[in-house]
Amino acid sequence: MTIKTLSSAVAVTALLAFPAFAEVDFSGETVEWVIPFSETGGSAKWANFFAPLLSEQLPGNPTVVVKFMPGAGSTKGANWFQEQEHEDGTLLFGTSGSTQFPFLLGDPRVRYEYADWTPVMASGTGGVAYLNPKDGAKFDGSANALQDIDFIYGSQGATRLDLVPLLAWEMLGMNVEPVFGIKGRGDGRLMFERGEATIDYQTSSGYLGASADLVANGQAVPMMTWGALDEDGNIVRDPTFPDIPTFKEVCEATDGCETSGEAWDAWKAFFVAGFPVQKIAFLPAGTPDDVRDAYVAAFEAVRSADGFSELAAKQVGKYPVFVGEGAARATVAGTTVSDEAKAFVQNWLQEAYGVSLN
């Protein structure tokens, strides 16, 4: 699906703001947008949503093809991208929180540095946790009736974005056993569908793309979202899923779960790093200003197009899209946590899963 209608004011503004836009021409070219996950997850849906819209707005209208490079929870693809340098502007790379978290935690497999890359677009997302129908029938807004159940969860790894749900479920006193090694959250959903997992979570795009159908068909019961941030940094209901309670609400209703203290502060810090700035599009090291400006202008045209907000809400959720300097600032926010939060999570990973990152 594409959007072709732009107001003349937006078009003129984009050209004035980025004078190099007209000097770059991708006619006849193919842009490869590499995603370091499998083709079944939320990052795939995100890139596939933006790809045709980007194609329409880049000068010369190149074909934008999404390619997948899963492995090691996305660090394989990110390490590969770190070695790439600008050639002709036809390589784009997309990361998510599962790429940011190993970087934040000092995972020894990380050989990439965000500061070397050129961010051109970033967008937020949310996440929805859901239960199988049998256990979902016991959920009453608190996790009290779920604390004696042994759950199975398909996970990409405890140092990936799965850190957020795994720590949340532990704070709720739930017994969730992760099965590590899946290549994308879509594979976790397939485990849930096959009955191999009894609890799951998906980012908003993945949930809207497939998991919502499981709920509609009675095969899953929503439990909670991670929420969204208001202007003061408070966690509020996710605008894409306003009828589903947040983890904060469920925690407040659950015996023994606290929304203050070290565990809460660490959880919130990684939630902020992983979701409000969850997906980022980068150009490789050495990209010249004119190519960067062409991409920034193109993404600006995409997000300003008539009907974009409505279309995005249906496909990837109601979240802000940052471009240019906004994307650069968002990247810093998404790749920074306090030393205290980092230390807490590193200790928790060691105690809960025997994962040592020190």
Measure CA 92 to chain center.
Answer: 17
Q: Which domains are assigned to the chain?
A: 8-123+275-334 (3.40.190.150), 127-274 (3.40.190.10)
**pLDDT value at 17 more than 80:** no
What tens digit of pLDDT does each residue of 194-228 get? 999 999 999 999 999 899 999 999 999 999 999 99
Give the whole-angstrom CA distance, residue 265 versus residue 287.
37
Q: Where does the pLDDT of residue 5 fall: very low under 50, low under 70, confident under 90, or very high at 90 and above?
A: very low
Higher pLDDT, 190 or 98: 190
pTM of the model: 0.81
- Amino acid code (one letter) for 18: F
For residue 21, the model assigns a pLDDT of: 44
pLDDT of 15 reads: 39
Tens digits of residue pLDDT in 244-289: 999 999 999 999 999 999 999 999 999 988 898 889 999 999 999 9
Phi/psi at 50 (nearest 5 deg)? -80, -25
Asked whether residue 8 carries a pLDDT value surpassing 50, the answer given is no
pLDDT band, very low/low/confident/very high, at 358 (cuts 50, 70, 90):
low
Which residues are within 8 A (CB) of 339 and not within 5 positions of it... i.e. 6 or more apart? none
Q: φ, ψ for residue 236 (rounded to 5)?
A: -130, 175
Instruction: Quickly tell me which residue has 């879509």 as its tokens.
Output: 186
In this predicted structure, the answer to whether residue 72 has a pLDDT above a threshold of 90 is: no
- β-pairing, 235-236 with 228-229? antiparallel
